[in-house]
Structure 1
């Protein structure tokens, strides 16, 4: 039974992504309203070693004998950068595989020098910045005490100024009536001029979120947000769409699939896009 590796996940952004979960459910320093892993019962701010690293390595070895994913992605049951073993596993993957590595993060711990050092070898980092308005940030991200959006912004600046050479796809989650307001988008566009990123991804709810009131943004809303960013000098924008069906579908490994479904809810339509029936 696989405990740490799951998938491959049908990802709208990464194609076929093999997930690695380095934290225990649910370990996060935020309680985001849109989180597909559900609510965070108790917020965590301290970095820990949550998993047996040798077990993680053995699971990766086993899965990669049969599957070549587009990415090995750190995500799962919470915030990956809370794991003190993140750097060790990244180094192991780079030394033992040819698969690209992706880190999906809420960005808060990017302000820590040790975290930046650990992730320098990652091929793609996807940090999240939903708003530079602190009030909106608290409504959506619901962080641990004494955390504000300036800390996330500091981390993005630190990543930009570091020796990291990989790609950065900055994600912003669009909730109509909250993150689509013109004045807030203009302020965010001004901040984005100060940092390095390869692409700004406008994302919206695709699966069930932590709060039932969060609904998918309409295409009209997403295009309007894109327009405002364009008008304020941000051109490299992608609206995240549905995942395309892959040509060579994969055999289902029951344990991996069950571990994947335990992380978040996937529709049968999503699963059928990458797995054989």
Structure 2
């Protein structure tokens, strides 16, 4: 099994070469919308799985074919920050690629409160952290976190990341109908976003939710939430109800 997959077409990132640090699902959450299905075990202990020699060799082979790559994206079967020494992996990729490609991290934000983790992320150009809840009850209902992972820690970690990280931060919010898509929650989210200060906020929908199916937030509500939170909001998922696609009025779909 290789470490890389793609490049694949991404609505947000263009042509993205994915990097999967784990051979099986390894996560601190058991999100209700996860397209990989349920988390049999949740983890907080960081581990090392990647053989850097093999990773560099594989990347060199991919690059030799000169594919279009807009980003190399750390994502896949698990939460990337659960892997140790991310800074060394970043360094290896930049050495092989000649620092030619932008590096992106997609994370559930669960370990960003740890200073060592944040320090390892400085080599990324873009971090896409998620924040799906504005209160502890909703957090547990959507993300089913490992015991000891709190919403307060996550928000504090995001605020610290913004102060320390020199690249871009695109905050992603996955909306689950009937759980976190009320206008009252949108108002609370707006206040939290003001503290985090991301470069962008992106609203997403669970259109590929694994075995657990959801009715999607309707386009009118999406547009209302967008207006409540503010002008610098993107809706990055098409609304699809099985028959036809809708676009939320006033929303920017990518």
Normalising to structure 2: TM-score of the pair?
0.88
8 Å CA contact 1:33, 1:214 repeated in 2: no
Taking the aligned partners of 2:107 and 2:74, their CA distance within structure 1 comes to 8
Partner of 1:139: 141
Taking the aligned partners of 1:150 and 1:199, their CA distance within structure 2 comes to 21
5+ residue gaps, structure 1, are 243-277
Higher relative contact order (CA 8 A, sep 6+): 1
5+ residue gaps, structure 2, are 239-254
1:193-247 Cα distance to aligned partner (Å, 9 max, x none) = 112211000001232x1452334333222112101212xxxx31001045xxxxx
8 Å CA contact 2:29, 2:39 repeated in 1: yes
Partner of 2:202: 201
Residues 1:88 and 2:106 aligned together: no
Partner of 1:112: 114
Match of 1:129 among 107, 128, 131: 131
Matches within 5 A, 1:52-63: 52-63=51-62
Normalising to structure 1: TM-score of the pair?
0.81
8 Å CA contact 2:172, 2:201 repeated in 1: yes
Matches within 5 A, 1:189-268: 189-207=190-208, 209-230=209-230, 235-241=231-237
SS at match of 2:43: coil
What is the root-mean-square deviation of aligned Cα atoms in Å? 1.4
Matches within 5 A, 1:8-23: 8-23=7-22
Taking the aligned partners of 1:26 and 1:105, their CA distance within structure 2 comes to 14
Number of aligned residue pairs? 235
